[in-house]
Amino acid sequence: MTGEYRVALLGNGIRASLSPALHMTEARHLGLGYEYRTVDLIDRPHVDLGAELRRLEDAGYAATNVTHPYKQAVLDHVTDLSPTVRHLGSANLVLFDDGRRTAHNTDRPGFRAALAGFLGDDGATGAVLQVGAGGAGLATVAALLDLGFDTVVVHDADPAAEATLLDRFSAGRPRLLPGDGGLDRWLPRVDGVVHATPVGMAEHPGVAFDVDRLAPSAWVAEVVYRPLETELLRRARARGLATLDGGGMAVGQAAESLRLITGLDPDTIRMHAHFHRL
């Protein structure tokens, strides 16, 4: 064992989270002593997030992941923001270091790495449609722009959510467009689609757009990972389209968190294989 790490996950309704197994198994492969536990705050609607962070620091935790609904609220309780957090206004990891609390966002590099691996060399070209402009969509659109696609079109059923996301990015970004004209206009024209709405989860069944309108060469990237096999992915595969499941982003953000916490490089292929067995 080359190090002892205690790491937490703060969020609501996270008792069945796959993060502990994902982090601890990979840390074991890396030869690390590593304990990862969930702190479910769902029964504590008036929780003092600052006090929770202090409790973890005092107990010797190295870091905590942060998930729904605290990704924005946690920013009021940290001392430092990474450049990505400053840009997106959202964090999913806080590193503790001698009284300093630094907020990071690993969803953006996690999705970027997963999509880059899926598309392969020179794959990030042409036009992409992103459906969904909420919390996950903030990180995925940033990753799409990082990867250098020629055009990124964002559509959300809620025009206010769409406008808010575009406002955050639009300065100097002529490649980023609103989904004016609706899905019917864009679906046949794009090289790929990123699906970033909750549609496809058990409580939101169905598909957010008509897969049959996509070109036969189009690819589909999903962010929903519960279930891993969504109706969208089933329909896309039935048409023979290339697909990336939501495990790509889930593993990518966990790997990037592990890297920031330990300074070691996790094996994302091994983590992905493990994720699919969970």
**Cβ neighbours for 49, distance < 8 A, ≥ 6 positions apart:** 10, 70, 73, 74, 76, 77
Q: How far is the CB of 98 from ligand NAD (least distance, A)?
A: 30
* Least Å from the CB of residue 133 to ligand NAD: 5
Q: Name which position in 201, 242, 260, 264 contacts ligand NAD (CB under 6 A).
A: 201
CB atoms inside a 10 Å sphere around CB 207:
17
Least distance from ligand NAD to the Cβ atom of residue 3, Å: 26
Which two tokens mark 20?
Answer: 């502990």
Q: Does 223 bind ligand NAD (CB under 6 A)?
A: yes
Q: Does 26 bind ligand NAD (CB under 6 A)?
A: no
- The residues with which 153 forms a beta bridge, in sequence order, are 129, 177
Catalytic annotation, pick one of 10, 66, 71, 250: 71
Write the CB contacts of 123 (distance below 8 Å, at least 6 apart in sequence): 116
Tell whether residue 11 is a contact of ligand NAD (CB under 6 A): no
- Half-sphere exposure of residue 47: CA atoms within 13 angstroms, side-chain side: 22
Question: Among this protein's residues, is 71 annotated catalytic?
Answer: yes
Structure tokens at 249: 């982003």
Instruction: Tell whether residue 224 is a contact of ligand NAD (CB under 6 A).
Output: yes
Decide: is 109 part of the binding site for ligand NAD (CB under 6 A): no
> How far out from the chain centre does Cα 8 lie?
18
State whether residue 268 is helix, strand or coil. Answer: helix
Per-residue x/- track, 116-155, ligand NAD (CB under 6 A): ---------------xxxxxxx------------------
What is the set of active-site residues? 71
Residues that bind ligand NAD (CB under 6 A): 107, 131-137, 156-158, 161, 196-199, 201, 208, 223-225, 246, 249-250, 253
